[in-house]
Amino acid sequence: MSQIQRLFASALAPLSPDGTRHRIVFSASDWKRRLLLATLLSGVVTSAFGASFNCSKAGSATEKIICGDAELSRLDDQLGKTYKQAKAKAADRREFAARSDGFWRWREKNCQTRECLLDWYRQRQIALDAELSGISVASVATTVLQSLPASVSGQLASQPVNELANKPSQVVTPEQIQTALAQVQKLIAEPTHGNHLFLVSAAPQSVPAVPLQPHYLSVADGEYVYEDLNEATALDARPQVMVRYRGKVHGEYTLEVQKKAGRVRYTCDSDCAYIKQLMLPGYGLHDLDVVKNDHGSLASIMMRDAMNGLLVESE
């Protein structure tokens, strides 16, 4: 039994239905302190390995696998923290976010097993650590190429860096990738040791942005049409919503969405870790809700389109 579990058990001991309950008498303040301790400890236990997104709203099969696995949840939480640090340090945050979206979309499309997700998280973690250490993505790709056989290296060298990142497991073996990434990790840990001239011999290269595709179905007169599959019913299997992008209002990306249930305004700041939802006209406090950006809901998808410059501000 871990130390946290022992403390939790001791806090709940007076509440257990065994025969020793009558031997101990506690005052009201004792009960309150023990109940508070039990509540706090239960929060520690359940959140120790929480993913960076809200698992209660996990939509994709990939997110459900992550939420059901302690190690994947821990890796997701760690990667989320590193991502925020790397984004804050990036010279071009929009380009950085666009490139990161490409990696995320590749994971959602291709990783349907625990093994694939473990490899993806480890590779993304090393890549972001490299960027935080000042090593460019192009340099990381060069390191991977130098560790591979000449035939494979020649095939990959002709591809853009973003295509190399999007196809890590379709061209080379997992063993080759792990060997290459281990070398990158060593360079990060010991940047002043060994012959690493290939990392700095060339001028920094600009990484082409991942081609982005909007998620809306159509647009007319500044109004975008999206599908809201979360609201699907037997009578309407593919419900649609009408969206207008209002640009940045008071520093927040702002969308106004017309649904069957009414009109909703969505807003989020530059980080967009949380999304505000206001039922219009929004006269009462109960009309406002704040949810964590889960990267899978319709609100998250629309906000991502806006932040990536795929929506034009409506008049």
Per-residue pLDDT tens for 57-91?
Answer: 666 788 888 888 889 989 999 998 999 998 888 88
In a domain, 205, yes or no: no
Same domain, 27 and 140: no
Contacting residues for 69 by C-beta, under 8 A, at least 6 apart: 114
CA atoms of 127 and 137, how far apart (whole Å): 7
* Three-state secondary structure call for residue 289: strand
| Any domain includes 53 | no
Prediction pTM value: 0.39
Residue 164: pLDDT band with limits 50, 70, 90: very low
Query: pLDDT tens digits for 17-52?
Result: 444 444 445 455 555 555 555 544 444 433 444 666
Residues 191 and 83 in one domain: yes
How many structural domains is the chain composed of? Answer: 3
Does residue 96 belong to any structural domain of this protein? yes
Q: What is the reported pLDDT for 27?
A: 54
Binned at pLDDT 50, 70 and 90, residue 201 comes out as: very low
* Pair (171, 279) in one structural domain: no
**Confidence bin at 263 (pLDDT 50/70/90):** very high
The pLDDT assigned to 92 comes to: 86
Residue 220 has pLDDT above 80, yes or no: yes
Rounded average pLDDT over 231-256:
91
Q: Indicate whether 184 and 71 sit together in one domain.
A: yes
For 305, residues 6+ apart whose C-beta sits below 8 A from its C-beta are: 214, 215, 216, 311
Whole-number Å distance between alpha carbons of 163 and 103:
10
Q: Which of 307, 313, 297 is nearest to 100 (CA)?
A: 307
Least confident of 12-26, 203-217, 238-252: 12-26
- pLDDT (0 to 100) of residue 167: 47
Residues 95 and 13 in one domain: no
264: β partners: 257, 279
Taking every pair of Cα atoms in the chain, the longest distance, rounded to a whole number of angstroms, is 78
Residues 193 and 272 in one domain: no
Mean pLDDT of 1-30: 47
Quote the pLDDT of residue 157. Answer: 45
Of 120-124, 164-168, 226-230, which range is least confident?
164-168
Q: Are residues 113 and 244 located together in one domain of the fold?
A: no
For the cut 90, the answer to whether the pLDDT of residue 206 exceeds it is no
Does residue 168 sit in the same domain as residue 88?
Answer: yes
pLDDT of residue 269: 93
Identify the domain boundary among 200, 227, 254.
200
**Does residue 167 lie within any of the structural domains?**
yes
The C-alpha atoms of residue 309 and residue 214 are separated, in whole angstroms, by: 9
| pLDDT given for residue 214 in this prediction | 87
CA–CA separation, 306 vs 244, rounded Å? 10
Q: Is 145 within the bounds of a domain?
A: yes
User: Please, which pLDDT band fits residue 223 given cuts at 50, 70 and 90?
Assistant: very high
Whether residues 189 and 64 share a domain: the answer is: yes
128 or 245, which is more confident: 245
Domain assignment of residue 130, yes or no: yes
Q: Is the pLDDT of residue 161 over 50?
A: no
Q: What's the pLDDT band for 176 if we cut at 50, 70, 90?
A: low
**Residue 52, domain member (yes or no):** no
pLDDT value at residue 50 = 62
Supply the range of the domain harboring residue 303.
218-307
CA-to-CA distance for 141 and 123, rounded, in angstroms?
A: 12
Report pLDDT for 144.
Answer: 45
User: In this predicted structure, what is the pLDDT of residue 154?
Assistant: 47
For the chain, where are the alpha helices, taking DSSP H only? 3-12, 28-47, 61-67, 70-89, 93-110, 114-132, 137-146, 150-157, 161-166, 174-189, 197-200, 298-307
Q: Could you tell me if 235 and 104 lie in one domain?
A: no
Tell whether the model's pLDDT for residue 225 goes beyond 60: yes
Is the sign of the CA dihedral 223, 225, 228, 231 positive or negative? positive
Per-residue confidence (pLDDT) for residue 18, from 0 to 100? 47
Q: Tell me the average pLDDT across 164-169.
A: 45
Dist CA 109 CA 53 (whole Å)? 18
Residue 211 forms part of a structural domain: no
Q: Looking at the structure, do residues 84 and 33 belong to the same domain, yes or no?
A: no
Q: Are residues 89 and 168 in the same domain?
A: yes
In the predicted model, is pLDDT for residue 219 greater than 70? yes
